[in-house]
């Protein structure tokens, strides 16, 4: 028994060191470890007492604290907030704090639909004296106004469900000259967003409502992900309804300030034709675009001569204009039954290498004809209930997959270099099949269990 005790102590000490999350005196490590267990009233009082003693002791003066992580303080306790602020203040002023991560009441985030629920406010001294900070993560807290923001070393900043004035957000971004990654997700009171940073490379923006102005200037920009928000109670709305936030106006002070963008992602957003054209013209040379649950009119990708990959899922648009000489990958998915894609009509696929069509895609007279596709290699057609006649004639296609196309009546496949052919659907008339003798063929003839009702619903919709 006695021989085992030292080993148990060492094991327990090692566990505490791992939970602590940073290097420092043992006493401080034990205090920070207890942050995870503040739901128990006795532990809570013990922690408040020990934190008070720690702040008044000399241990904090000697500690080299590199990271502070505060997670899930619940229920709200003014005394704990005060001690937390004081501990952060002393850590920044007396130690070279590199990373600050504060998440308040993450397990009850559904209560934060209104900013009045936010109780924790970050002290302004963090922004005035945090000159060594390289990463800042804030979630479910508020930030006041501070004129003297100094973040010369900050590279990563993430604000989620943060109550912050527009002016303060602009100051944070502008006065962080080395900022590379910025995430602003569902922050309160942000209706005007100005992004001006010469070093910024990646930006994620999630809005709770309409954004009246999006102004951007970031010459090293590489990735932009913008998404709106669905209502809190999804079951209260039609499951196929597209709920979006709107970008009302877009501008850039320098027309060459965003041309380095490589990837553009937009989800649950509504943009009118004029604003969308301004955005796409500013992001002129991006190569990848992803649209999810967007409501758009005419999408003028014709102004983006380097676009190679386009992914569209459950979005509504009148028409898409493309550069047929550059597009290499096109994936279109539509799971809704109350609208269809009308985007394939008139599209040219001169350089296309991969094509994927899934769901409720519109085909002129129910016919999809792939004959002028000199570079096409991979084709996937799945769950396209509006497709009745499929025709493929290509020497370049080496992989073809067709599955769950229950309305398909006839198919003609002339692909002498095809290496893999997969068909999983109902029986159709295969009028032409020209493929190599050694091609791999996977055939599965099935019938949808509710085939008749599914077809009836689609025919009624089309009528």
Per-residue pLDDT of 372-429, as tens digits, reads 889 999 999 999 988 999 999 999 999 999 999 989 999 999 999 999 999 999 888 9
* Residues 240 and 359: beta-carbon distance below 8 Å: no
What is the tally of structural domains in the chain? 3
* Residues 426 and 403: beta-carbon distance below 8 Å: no
Looking at per-residue pLDDT, the higher value among 187 and 2 belongs to 187
Q: Which helix (H) or strand (E) holds 90?
A: helix 78-94
Whether residues 20 and 145 fall in one domain: yes
Picking from 303, 321, 339, the residue at the C-terminal end of a domain is: 321
Whether residues 333 and 315 fall in one domain: no
Q: What digits encode the pLDDT tens for the residues 18-69?
A: 333 333 444 444 444 444 455 566 666 666 666 666 656 655 555 567 887 8
> How far is the C-alpha of 125 from the C-alpha of 146, rounded, in Å?
9
Picking from 321, 346, 377, the residue at the C-terminal end of a domain is: 321
In a domain, 166, yes or no: no
Whether residues 293 and 196 fall in one domain: yes
In a domain, 75, yes or no: yes
What is the total residue count of the chain?
Answer: 463
- Is the pLDDT confidence value at 353 over 90? yes
Q: What digits encode the pLDDT tens for the residues 175-197?
A: 999 999 999 998 988 889 999 99
In a domain, 431, yes or no: yes
Whether residues 315 and 338 fall in one domain: no
Structural domain for 71, as ranges: 10-156
Chain-centre distance for alpha carbon 167: 25
Whether residues 314 and 333 fall in one domain: no
In a domain, 167, yes or no: no
Whether residues 317 and 368 fall in one domain: no
Picking from 321, 342, 357, the residue at the C-terminal end of a domain is: 321
Whether residues 315 and 391 fall in one domain: no
Lowest mean pLDDT among 235-239, 317-321, 402-406, 409-413: 235-239
In a domain, 145, yes or no: yes
In a domain, 203, yes or no: yes
* Residues 67 and 21: beta-carbon distance below 8 Å: yes
Q: Which helix (H) or strand (E) holds 181?
A: strand 181-185
> How far is the C-alpha of 234 from the C-alpha of 238, rounded, in Å?
8
Whether residues 317 and 378 fall in one domain: no
Give exposure, 261-275, as e/b (b: 16+ Cβ within 10 Å). Answer: bebbbbbbbbbeeeb
Whether residues 19 and 139 fall in one domain: yes
So what's the pLDDT on residue 423?
94
Percentage above 70 pLDDT, the chain: 72
So what's the pLDDT on residue 61?
55
> How far is the C-alpha of 47 from the C-alpha of 37, rounded, in Å?
10
DSSP string of 278-319, one letter each residue: HHHHHTTT--EEEEES-B-SEEEGGG-TT--EEEEES-B-SE
Whether residues 351 and 396 fall in one domain: yes
In a domain, 171, yes or no: no
Whether residues 295 and 336 fall in one domain: no
Q: How confident is the model at residue 118 (pLDDT cuts 50, 70, 90)?
A: confident
In a domain, 170, yes or no: no
- Is the pLDDT confidence value at 204 over 80? yes
* Residues 158 and 120: beta-carbon distance below 8 Å: no
So what's the pLDDT on residue 462?
45
Whether residues 402 and 288 fall in one domain: no
């Amino acid at each position: 028994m006695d021989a085992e005790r030292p080993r148990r102590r060492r094991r327990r000490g090692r566990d505490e060191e791992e939970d602590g999350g940073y290097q420092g005196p043992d006493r401080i490590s034990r205090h920070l470890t207890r942050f995870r267990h503040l739901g128990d009233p006795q532990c809570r009082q013990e922690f408040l007492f020990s934190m008070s003693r720690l702040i008044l002791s000399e241990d904090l003066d000697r500690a080299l604290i590199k990271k502070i992580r505060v997670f899930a303080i619940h229920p709200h306790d003014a005394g704990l907030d005060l001690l937390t602020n004081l501990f952060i203040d002393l850590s920044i002023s007396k130690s070279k704090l590199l990373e600050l991560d504060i998440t308040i009441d993450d397990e009850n985030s559904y209560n934060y639909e209104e900013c009045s629920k936010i109780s924790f406010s970050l002290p302004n001294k963090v922004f005035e004296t945090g000159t060594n900070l390289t990463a800042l993560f804030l979630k479910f807290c508020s930030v006041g106004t501070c004129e003297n923001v100094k973040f010369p070393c900050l590279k990563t900043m993430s604000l989620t469900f943060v109550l912050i004035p527009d002016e303060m957000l602009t100051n944070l971004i502008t006065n962080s000259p080395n900022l590379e990654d910025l995430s602003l997700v569902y922050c309160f009171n942000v209706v005007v967003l100005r992004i001006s940073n010469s070093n910024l490379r990646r930006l994620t923006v999630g809005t709770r409502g309409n954004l009246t102005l999006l102004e951007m200037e970031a010459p090293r920009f590489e990735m932009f992900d913008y998404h709106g928000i669905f209502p809190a109670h999804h079951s209260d709305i039609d499951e196929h309804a597209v709920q979006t936030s709107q970008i009302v106006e877009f501008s850039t002070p320098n027309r060459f300030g965003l041309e380095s963008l490589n990837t553009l992602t937009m989800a649950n957003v509504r943009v009118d034709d004029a604003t969308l054209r301004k955005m796409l013209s500013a992001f002129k040379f991006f190569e990848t675009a992803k649209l999810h649950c967007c409501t758009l009119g005419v999408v003028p990708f014709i102004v983006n001569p380097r676009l190679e990959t386009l992914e569209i899922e459950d979005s509504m648009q009148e028409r898409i204009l493309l550069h047929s000489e550059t597009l290499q990958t096109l994936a279109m998915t539509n799971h809704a039954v109350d609208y269809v894609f009308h985007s394939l009509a008139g599209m040219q696929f001169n350089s296309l290498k991969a094509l994927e069509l899934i769901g409720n895609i519109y085909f002129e007279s129910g016919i999809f004809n792939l004959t002028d596709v000199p570079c096409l290699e991979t084709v996937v057609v799945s769950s396209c209930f509006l497709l009745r006649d499929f025709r493929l004639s290509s020497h370049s296609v080496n992989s073809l997959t067709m599955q769950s196309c229950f309305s398909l009546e006839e198919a003609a496949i002339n692909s002498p270099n095809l290496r893999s052919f997969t068909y999983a659907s109902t029986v159709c008339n295969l009028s032409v099949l020209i493929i190599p003798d050694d091609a791999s063929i996977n055939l599965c003839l099935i019938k949808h269990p509710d085939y008749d009702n599914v077809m009836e619903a689609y025919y009624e919709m089309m009528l």
